Amino acid sequence: MSAAIAPAFRLFLLRHANAGWPLPGQTDFDRTLDDTGFAAAELVADIASDRDLKPELVLCSTAVRCRQTVDAFRRATEEDVDIRYVDALYTGTIDVYRDLIAGQDTAIGSVMIVGHNPVIEEILRECIGVESASEVIPAGYPPGALSTIDLETRPNADVLPPGKLTAFVTPDGHLR
């Protein structure tokens, strides 16, 4: 029996869970998860932890709803997770996300991005192809969903390499 070959790089994409509408005087940045979002973040984090879907490094948007979503992962893993909060993920384009993914130390073999649509969806489409992504997310990338993509080579800032979707967890408990 042969051992599984480790991917060149593993990328986790986590879209923040459902957030409530801003309260009067509250900015979009300060929106918090609603009750559904809190429950979804906990469920996806528990499934990911049970499946040992744990990154070496987490890059998280500084928006409140993203920080609340990643807190569920921190609790579920019961480990010290290296989480770095990055302002640029809040309003960043796909180029910003790519640069952040590719710019990590080559000793790091897996990174989780906790961010926002439409960029999370664009990254998934770039890595696994438009057709494959359309099969997985026909109605778009759901809030709170987590994808795990094994990339053929290490990422670079110009284009993320092709990869294979190895797991997709949705807040309704669906695991692919």
Q: What is the pLDDT of residues 138-153, one digit of tens each?
A: 999 999 999 999 999 9
Distances (CA, A) of 73 to 24, 36, 152, 171, 173: 30, 16, 26, 13, 15
Q: What is the pLDDT of residues 79-123, one digit of tens each?
A: 788 999 999 999 999 999 999 999 999 999 999 999 999 999 999
| pTM value > 0.85 | yes
Confidence of residue 3 (pLDDT cuts 50, 70, 90): very low
- Spell out the domains of the chain, with CATH numbers in brackets: 9-21+29-169 (3.40.50.1240)
Q: What is the pLDDT of residue 134?
A: 96
d(CA 35, CA 52): 26
Q: What is the pLDDT of residue 98?
A: 95
Q: What is the pLDDT of residues 23-33, one digit of tens each?
A: 898 899 999 99
Check: CB of residue 8 under 8 Å from CB of residue 154: yes
Q: What is the pLDDT of residue 175?
A: 66
d(CA 127, CA 124): 5
Q: What is the pLDDT of residue 36?
A: 96
User: Residue 30 carries which DSSP code?
Assistant: G
Q: What is the pLDDT of residues 35-71, one digit of tens each?
A: 999 999 999 999 999 999 999 999 999 999 999 999 9
By C-alpha distance, which of 67, 71, 21, 63 is closest to 44?
A: 71
Q: What is the pLDDT of residue 6?
A: 72
Q: Is it the case that residue 2 has pLDDT exceeding 50? A: no
